[in-house]
Amino acid sequence: MSMQTDAYQLCKTVWSSSPRDQLRDLISAINTPRDGLGSQSDRSHLGYIARQLGAQLLGYLVVDRDRAKLEEATFTGDIPQLSPQERRLLESTHRQILRLNSQCVEGLTKRLPKCATAVDPYTRFHYVLPDDTPKTQIFAPEAAHMIAASFREHPAVLLALETAEPFYEGITEGSYAEQVFKLTDGLLRAGVSRAPQGLGLLVTMESKDSPNRVVARHLGALICVRASIATLDQLIYQAILSNRLPILNDANMIEIRYRTKHLCGTGISVIYQPDEQAGIEDLLTLFLIRCPPYGIPATQLCQVETLHVEASLDFGETVEVGLREIDHNLNPFGPLLDHL
């Protein structure tokens, strides 16, 4: 089985877990506007800001923690705080997800402990869980063991270990993370349709065994590990909210504007009409897209990186999304490993 298949199996255990309904109801209550009620009762702006962070459950905790600063910065008015019970539910579930993340990269971080911060998708939020956070079980331990075992064979994990020697000893943990975050931001700024210009120059101008290329290969591997962990966490989050991923297919797609393969991924631009299979989703939402005539596999997993909503006389409300394909290792930047 592939890592993606193991991740889907883990998500199926989320559906039958005891805290799942409580979590889903809480997130729905926070995200849904309450018409006719004042800001003290309406928490939808808390939910809106949280979803923009792309940190799944942690986003709600971060917004709750930073309420005072955000009220000043966003002009949204009062942001009602989470109750202690709500906070503990989110924190306990997030703690189990963090444990899973640690299990998945354990083989890497035991040998290269300084890279632990660099491959953690939540490092930038600086949220410290209380020591007394209760344990919860949002997914089955057996399924967690399977996905962690799959990660030990992740090509990016193996490549990071293979290329660490000339780079690892001379860098601090903080600098390590800073480099990975900077390069990841560059990949995202370039958009889904192309690779950053600097990456193209590196690949064409530097030999495969040049020091710059080896360092880039090592950092690129860590970027891919981090991205795969983030994809896994997003799958878990969406499994809490729904029994299926949103689907784009012939029934709701109006146009595929392009599908472009490049040095660090495959990008797709799609215009679709919201329906029961896919509504107006958030950034970082994972979709399944089914469109074999365009050369897209029958159930290709993709992630939203850009989103634009328009009203049209012909089609009503339409959504244009920039998607990045996710490979069977849950990696949106899979080709990067081959080209570096």
Same domain, 222 and 264: no
Cβ–Cβ < 8 Å for 151, 157: yes
Asked if the structure places residue 119 within a domain, the reply is no
| Torsion sign across C-alpha atoms 313, 245, 29, 121 | negative
The Cα 194–Cα 135 span in angstroms is 43
Cα atoms in the Cβ-side hemisphere of radius 13 Å centred on 184: 23
* Domain termination site, one of 98, 122, 149: 149
Give the C-alpha separation, 190 to 180, whole Å.
Answer: 16
Q: How far from each other are the two terminal CA atoms of the chain, in whole angstroms?
A: 27
The region that residue 241 occupies, defined by phi over 0 for left and psi between -120 and 50 for alpha, beta otherwise, is alpha
pLDDT tens digits, 165-210: 877 888 899 999 999 999 999 999 999 999 999 888 888 888 888 8
Q: Are residues 212 and 256 in the same domain?
A: no
Based on the fold, state whether residues 98 and 51 are members of the same structural domain.
Answer: yes
Residue 88 lies in a domain: yes
Quick check: is 120 in a domain?
no
Q: How many domains does the chain have?
A: 3
Looking at residue 202, the DSSP 8-state letter turns out to be: H
User: In this structure, what is the dihedral angle of CA atoms 307, 308, 309, 311, given to the nearest 10 degrees?
Assistant: -150
100 and 210 belong to one structural domain: no
Q: What average pLDDT does the segment 15-21 reach?
A: 94
193 phi, psi to nearest 5 deg: -95, -5
Residue 212 lies in a domain: yes
pLDDT in tens, 34-44: 654 444 456 78
Query: What mean pLDDT value characterizes the chain?
Result: 90
Q: Are 337 and 291 in contact (CB under 8 A)?
A: no
- What pLDDT is stored for residue 37 in this prediction? 47
Tell whether 251 and 313 lie within a shared domain.
Answer: yes
Q: What percentage of the chain reaches a pLDDT higher than 70?
A: 93
In a domain, 307, yes or no: yes
Q: State pLDDT tens for residues 254-295.
A: 999 999 999 999 999 999 999 988 888 898 999 999 876 666
Are the C-beta atoms of 287 and 281 separated by less than 8 Å? yes
Return the CA Rg of the chain: 20
122 within domain boundaries: no
Alpha carbon of residue 86 to chain centroid:
23
Q: What is the pLDDT of residue 1?
A: 67
Helix (H) or strand (E) holding 128: none
Single residue among 86, 120, 149 that ends a domain in this structure? 149
Structure confidence by residue, pLDDT tens digits, 31-89? 887 654 444 456 788 888 899 999 999 999 999 999 888 877 766 567 888 999 999 99
Residue type at 331 in one-letter notation: N
Average pLDDT over residues 305-317: 83
- Domain match, 10 and 63 both: yes
Q: Is residue 101 part of a domain?
A: yes
Q: Which amino acid, 223?
A: I
Mark whether 254 and 214 lie in a shared domain: no
Confidence (pLDDT) at 295: 63
Residues 274 and 198 in one domain: no
Looking at the structure, do residues 106 and 40 belong to the same domain, yes or no? yes
Residues 89 and 143 in one domain: yes
Q: State which of 90, 122, 149 marks the end of a domain.
A: 149
173 and 300 in a single domain? The answer is no
Q: Do the Cβ atoms of 81 and 97 come closer than 8 Å? A: no
Domain, as residue range, for 97: 3-112+132-149
Number of continuous H segments (helices) and E segments (strands) in the chain = 14, 6
108 domain-assigned? yes
Q: Which residues contact 21 (CB under 8 A, 6 or more apart)?
A: none
Tell me which DSSP letter residue 129 carries.
P
Q: Which residues, other chains included, contact 3 with Cβ-Cβ below 8 Å and sequence gap of 6+?
A: 147, 150, 151, 154, 228, 328, 329, 330
pLDDT tens digits, 133-176: 888 899 999 999 999 999 999 999 999 999 998 778 888 999 99
Q: What is the pLDDT of residue 300?
A: 92
Tell me how far apart the alpha carbons of residues 222 and 218 are, in angstroms, rounded to a whole number. Answer: 7
Model confidence, pTM: 0.94
Structure tokens at 161: 């270990």
Tokens (6 digits) for 204: 């064409």
Strand order in the sheet with 253-262: 247-248, 286-289, 300-312, 316-325, 265-272, 253-262
Residues 256, 313, single domain; the answer is: yes
Q: Closest Cα to residue 256, out of 265, 244, 266, 246? A: 266
